[in-house]
């Protein structure tokens, strides 16, 4: 299993204090149980989709459980994000996403994947809405 295409590349990861604070502090948020997700859309010369996943220590005391949830979440994200990634590249838009797992139990991979797919679909709708607003408001009448 040493296949490089089975990894989440560093370019797809959201990291750095400033970038993370921007997403969680100034970004929008929504909820698809068991994930609360924050996102920030902005124009960028080359589109990108970057994300991070967080599992609070308060809900899962054992690191092995937190890592298990993060591994399942990253795997589901990696397998299903290509369509949204293509939309972002086509419109030179960058989307940064922060996922926070707020459930109380350990999810199964299939369950995590179903929820991640739903989140990606919602983000795609938010992106389409953002695109229509930014095109429509090039000369706003406010």
Q: Inter-axis angle of helices 109-136 and 63-80, to 10 degrees?
A: 50
Alpha-carbon distance of 136 to 118, in angstroms, equals: 27
Rounded to two decimals, the pTM is 0.86
Residue with tokens 């179903």: 114
CA dihedral in degrees (81, 109, 118, 41; nearest 10)? Answer: -40
Write out pLDDT tens, residues 85-139. 999 999 999 999 999 999 999 999 999 999 999 999 999 999 998 888 865 544 4
Domains and CATH numbers, the chain: 9-124 (3.30.230.10)
């Amino acid at each position: 299993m040493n296949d490089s295409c089975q990894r989440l590349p560093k370019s797809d990861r959201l990291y750095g204090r400033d970038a993370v604070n921007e997403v969680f502090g100034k970004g929008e948020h929504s909820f698809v149980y068991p994930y609360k997700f924050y996102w920030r859309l902005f124009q960028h010369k080359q589109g990108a989709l970057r994300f991070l996943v967080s599992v609070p220590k308060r809900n899962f005391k054992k690191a092995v459980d937190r890592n298990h949830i993060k591994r399942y979440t990253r795997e589901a994200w990696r397998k299903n994000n290509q369509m949204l990634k293509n939309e972002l590249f086509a419109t030179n838009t960058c989307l940064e996403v922060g996922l926070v797992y707020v459930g109380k139990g350990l999810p199964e991979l299939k369950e995590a994947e179903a929820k991640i797919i739903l989140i990606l679909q919602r983000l795609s709708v938010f992106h389409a809405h953002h695109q229509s607003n930014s095109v429509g408001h090039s000369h706003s009448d406010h």
